Amino acid sequence: MMEWLIVISLITFGIILIVAEVVFVPGTTIVGVLGLLLLVLGVYKSFEYFDNVIAYSVLAGTSVLFLGMLYYVFTTRIWEKFSLKQEINSKFNKGMSDVLSVGDVGETVSALKPIGKAEFGNKVFEVKSLGGYVEPNKKIEIIKIENNQITIKPVNN
């Protein structure tokens, strides 16, 4: 009786982990690999504990159950209940950079590493330095505005 419990538990947990891999954590991760190992171990144990007729029946039943679960998951689109449905359509600095021009001087509000926030004329914008770190409260100058991306350089006093 204990042999049946071991085989059924291994196969059940293997199928659960593989379905969880497909639905919740797509890609080849440890969850899917562990599920596959448990599934194979369950079928292997059935060959070890029982005669060939029962072991092949367990293999066939496991295959049908596994394929049935995958069919159910894909046809019912169950993963859509858990997926994010919102889209981000906004762009940073959209419409705001029209008031700025190359050569304008402002001050960093946050550290630029190389991206951060800066203030120009009492409005805060997302800016990008030329690649270096710029500390907060430093004077900066706009050197390029392209596709709502504001590139700056520090102003040395």
Residue 70 lies in a domain: yes
Residue 91 lies in a domain: no
Q: Indicate whether 36 and 101 sit together in one domain.
A: no
Q: Indicate whether 7 and 77 sit together in one domain.
A: yes
Q: Indicate whether 54 and 124 sit together in one domain.
A: no
Q: Is the pLDDT of residue 39 over 90?
A: yes
- What would the pLDDT profile of 41-84 be if each residue is shown by its tens digit? 999 999 999 999 999 999 999 999 888 887 887 788 776 776 66
Q: Indicate whether 13 and 58 sit together in one domain.
A: yes
According to DSSP H, which parts of the chain are helical?
2-23, 30-49, 52-76
Q: Indicate whether 73 and 118 sit together in one domain.
A: no
> CA-CA distance, 5 to 73, in Å (whole number)?
26
Query: What range defines the domain where residue 23 resides?
Result: 2-81
Residue 11 lies in a domain: yes
Residue 64 lies in a domain: yes
Residue 89 lies in a domain: no
pTM of the shown model: 0.50
Residue 132 maps to which CATH number? 2.40.50.140
Q: Which residues pair with 108 in a beta bridge?
A: 118
Q: Indicate whether 77 and 105 sit together in one domain.
A: no
- What would the pLDDT profile of 19-36 be if each residue is shown by its tens digit? 888 777 777 688 889 999
- What would the pLDDT profile of 98-129 be if each residue is shown by its tens digit? 678 888 999 999 998 888 999 988 888 889 99
Domain count, the chain: 2
Q: What is the mean pLDDT of residues 83-102?
A: 68
Q: What is the mean pLDDT of residues 10-26?
A: 84
> CA-CA distance, 135 to 112, in Å (whole number)?
7
Q: Indicate whether 59 and 111 sit together in one domain.
A: no
What was the pLDDT predicted at 49?
92
3-state DSSP assignment of residue 135: coil
Rounded to 5 degrees, what are φ and ψ at 61? Answer: -65, -40
Q: Indicate whether 6 and 72 sit together in one domain.
A: yes
> CA-CA distance, 18 to 32, in Å (whole number)?
5
CA angle 89, 94, 100 (to 5 degrees): 170
